[in-house]
Structures are given as C-alpha cells and as structure tokens.
Amino acid sequence: MFQQRVEPGGTVALILNTSSEALAVLVGAWRAGLRVLSIPPPTSAQKAHYWPHVSRICVNEQAHLLLSSGRLVEAAKEYPDVEVVNLSHAVGDGAVREEWDSGEFVQFSSGSTADPKGVRLSLDAMGSNVEQLHQALPQDPFVCCSWMPLSHDMGLMLALSSWARTDALPAREGGIRLMEPMEFMRSPTTWLRECSDAGATLVGLSNSAMEMVARRTRSRASLSLESITACIVGSEPLSAATICRFVAALKPFGFREAAICPAYGLAEATVAVTMTPMDVLWHRADLPAEVYAGGSDVVALGPPLPRTDIRISGDRLGAIEIRGPSLLTGYVGAAQAPFTKDNWFRTSDIGAMVADELVVLARSDDVVFSAGQKLYATDMERVLSELTCFDARHIAVVPFDGRYAVVTEVPRSGQHDADTLFKQARNELLQVFGSAPVSLVLVPRGGILRTPTGKLQRDRTASALGNGELEVIATASIAG
C-alpha cells in the first residue's frame, strides 16, 4: 500500500496499538523509506482533546496518511485534514520497496514534565540501540512476552529487539508475544500465564507494574517462570522495596532474583542507556551520605551499554549527560535539543555514578525547595507510600506556595478526612526530611495528572492546583 500511495521520504502517522499487526505496519513503512510519526492511543482522560491534538500533529508534520485500528478509524474520520486508513489494509499486500535509508521515526515523549516533544530518531540510531540490547541480552532462545505499549519507547524497543533477533511477527517459537496494556492492568496473572506458556526469556516492567504483580499474584496460581533470564525494569523511579515484594511473590513459581535487570533509558536515546547485566544480582546503591541523604531504597541501574558514555555535570551529583550512537537527531519544531558545546546530550535527570553504575535520584523538574532545603519529590512520595493511609500509586508531592504540598487521591479505604491525612503526612515527612508540607490536597481517583503511560506530571498538577483547575474534594493546611 505504501508503495502506491506515498513517495519515499513522505510522512505517515501511526496510532500504535500493542499488536503484531501494528508492529508489522511500522516495519513496512520504514522499508518503504517513510517518516513515521508514532502517536499513543487515547486514554479515557483524553477524550475531549485527543483527536484535535492528533489532527494538529498530522497537519503540522504533513502526514499523508493516518493509520489506526478499526475501533479508532471511525472517530478519526470526524477530522478530514488527513486520510485515515485501517491498519489491516496496510498489512500483507505483497509489494515491497526497500528504501531504508530515507526512513525516520518521530517518537513523542511521555511529557512527564512538559508538553510531549516529538523526538526525531534516525533508523541508524534505532538500529544501534537494538544492537546494544542484543549484546546485553545474549539469550537463546529469545522469547519476549510484552504488555508494554508499542507507543512507549521501552515497549517498542523490546518488540523490535525480538523481531530483529527472530524475524518473526508473531512467533510461536521464539520472537515476540504482545498483550494490550489494559489486559495486563485488568489481570497481571493473565500476562504471567502467557509468559509461562510461551517459556518467556525476556520481559519488561515498570515499578508500578511490579507493585501490581506483587499485590495481585496468588500463590495457588499454576505458573512456571524459571525460563525468564532477563526482567528489565525501568521507565519509572525504582524502589528496592518494590523489587523485593515482586521477587517474593514470584519465587514460588521458579522466578530467579538474578533475572532482575534494573535499567535507565529515555526517548531521546531511543530507549536504553544503562542496564544491570544478566545474572548479576541487582542491589541498592551505596551512596555516601555527603552525596545523598535520602535513604537506602535507591536502586543501582547498571553500567552504560556498549558504545555509550555517561558523565555527571556536577562534582559528584548533578545532571546526567550522555554520548552514544542511539541519540536523537533533534526535536520536531523549534525546540532545540540540549546538547553541550562538546556534543553531550544533557538529560533532565539528576544522578551520580557509583562504582561505574548509574544511580538516578530525580528529574531536575521534581526537585522541591522548602526553606532553602533541596528535596526530591520521589523520595517523599516513597516515604508516604509506606504509611497505610496512603496508596503508593496515587500520591504527588508538588511545589506550592513557596514550599510544597502533598496531593493525594482518595484512598481505597474511602478515608476523606484531609486533616487526619495531613497530620500523618506532616509528622512523617518532618521526621524523615526535617521539612513539612504546607498543605494536603485530597482529589478524586484519577485527579492527579499523568502521561498516557502513567507517569506523574508534577509540574502540570502543581500548575492546575495553583490556577484552581484541579478538582479538589478537601484541603488541609497549616492555617487549618
């Protein structure tokens, strides 16, 4: 289809659902020498703004076609600025045009701290990251079971690494087996059963997904997980306590703790930057107190992948800077990629190198200042999550009124007493960090703003709170 309708170098937009069909269409577009815009499927919270946003992207980037699954095609037709085609019509037409050199990928970042950016990646950069992952994952057989969205960098690269190793879409022996993220959310055990049945050797998880698996897996389940040799965990700040709960929940089914591979990556580096090697036991970071005094729950994220270099901009703690073959070409539009004068890419993450391993402590945007003290929102959220009155997945610490506030969604217990929650939060944070929030804000479930992949958007939540745009159930503050 691409050969007849789009010239090499032309642009198509692809709403990537998590299916072998979507993956095949993506690879086919690259083979036809096309520039592909990757657009995440809509979430329930995006209904009012999603299609105008997609239409604007397609017009601005001169996309000739918008490809989507059947259930989204009809909704897209309300916006006639671009021709909409069902994914199934682009699969298996028999025509092949090998024009790889002119292909490009535009990956829209999650927007966890700002509006999503279109990250431009050459196919050479993506191929380099696939090669790096293959060197770090010398598995045979190579069987990946993934629930992570193809529209997210980690989910896409797991799938592409599997496809490149086996050249099979989908595969019954080796290759990649894909599951829609919502199916995983409804029942993590369904994903575990697929891993068991397929003899999966490679899987990927975020911290919150590990929490979900640990909480909802029952010991009576009939599973066999000893084939998993690499469980890459990344995408979110990692908690050592979460990893321990996950390992304890899956150990009865043969899962080995040595399979845990904490990693660090970002869309601007295609995905992977560091990873704990297979069969090297994960561990907490041994951070000197003078470098970091935020507790012992921080996880070491392994050494840089082959041909990738990392440096820290500060003395021992500072912005993480990267140099390597898988970096972005630039951003879509006028935004300039933050390269240093000597051509290192400066990330928005703050970290340190300890014994040649990367430790990430926070995003620069997640630093909170209180009475001259610099605190990390992720640390405070982790401490609060250990209290029974808070849910780890539904807390955000955000800048507010010159200090900071705790925004929490209504707990499952139904506790609506903001004053009681505020008292407990103040006492705990004051004891651990020597600094207390000025306010606690109770919002409905889903009230904290997130990216389509579930990452907290603290800046946007703080802005909505300050502008009175956040739906608030109750508030408690120092003044009462």
Query: How do residues 137-187 score in pLDDT, each as one tens digit?
Result: 877 778 899 998 888 888 898 888 887 776 544 444 457 889 888 899 889
In the chain, what are the domain boundaries? Answer: 2-102, 125-364, 371-477
Phi, psi at residue 205, to the nearest 5°?
-145, 155
User: Alpha carbon of 264 to those of 28, 301, 393: distances in Å?
Assistant: 29, 6, 20
pTM of the model: 0.78
> Long-range contacts: 42-45, Cβ < 8 Å, 24+?
42/72, 43/452, 45/446, 45/450
The residues pairing with 346 across neighbouring beta strands, listed in sequence order, are 321
User: How confident is the model at residue 279, as a pLDDT?
Assistant: 83
Name the β-bridge partners of 116: none
Q: What are residue 330's DSSP bridge partners? A: 120
- Looking at CATH, the fold of the domain delimited by 125-364 is given as Rossmann fold (3.40.50)
- What is the pLDDT confidence band of residue 294, given thresholds at 50, 70 and 90? low
Contact at 8 Å (CB) between 238 and 301? yes
Least confident of 50-54, 171-175, 193-197: 171-175
3-state secondary structure of 166: helix
> With 70 as the cut, is the pLDDT of residue 99 above it?
no
* Mean pLDDT, rounded, for 71-75: 70
CATH topology of domain 371-477: GMP Synthetase; Chain A, domain 3 (3.30.300)
Per-residue pLDDT band at 114 (split at 50, 70, 90): very low
- What spatial distance separates the first Cα and last Cα of the chain, rounded to whole Å? 65
d(CA 170, CA 153): 19
Q: How far apart are CA 248 and CA 256, in angstroms?
A: 10
Q: Is 188 helix (H, G, I), strand (E, B) or coil?
A: helix
- The topology (CATH level 3) of 2-102 is Rossmann fold (3.40.50)
The whole-number average pLDDT for the span 326-333 is 90
Angle (nearest 5°) at CA 187 between 278 and 396 = 80
For 277, the token pair is 């090697």
Compute the distance between CA of residue 405 and CA of residue 403 in angstroms, rounded to an integer.
7
**pLDDT mean over 89-105:** 66
Tell which wins on pLDDT, 315 or 284: 284
Mean pLDDT across the chain, nearest whole number? 82
More confident residue, 305 or 434: 305
Burial of 42 (0-12, 13-18, 19+ CB in 10 A): middle
| 354 three-class SS | strand
Given a cut of 70, whether residue 96 has pLDDT beyond it is: no
Is pLDDT larger for residue 204 or for residue 171?
A: 204
What is the DSSP secondary-structure string of 368-398? EEETTEEEEHHHHHHHHHTSTTS-GGGEEEE
Query: 2-102 with 371-477: one CATH topology?
Result: no
Beta strands (DSSP E) in 191-337 are 202-205, 230-233, 260-265, 272-275, 309-312, 318-323, 330-331
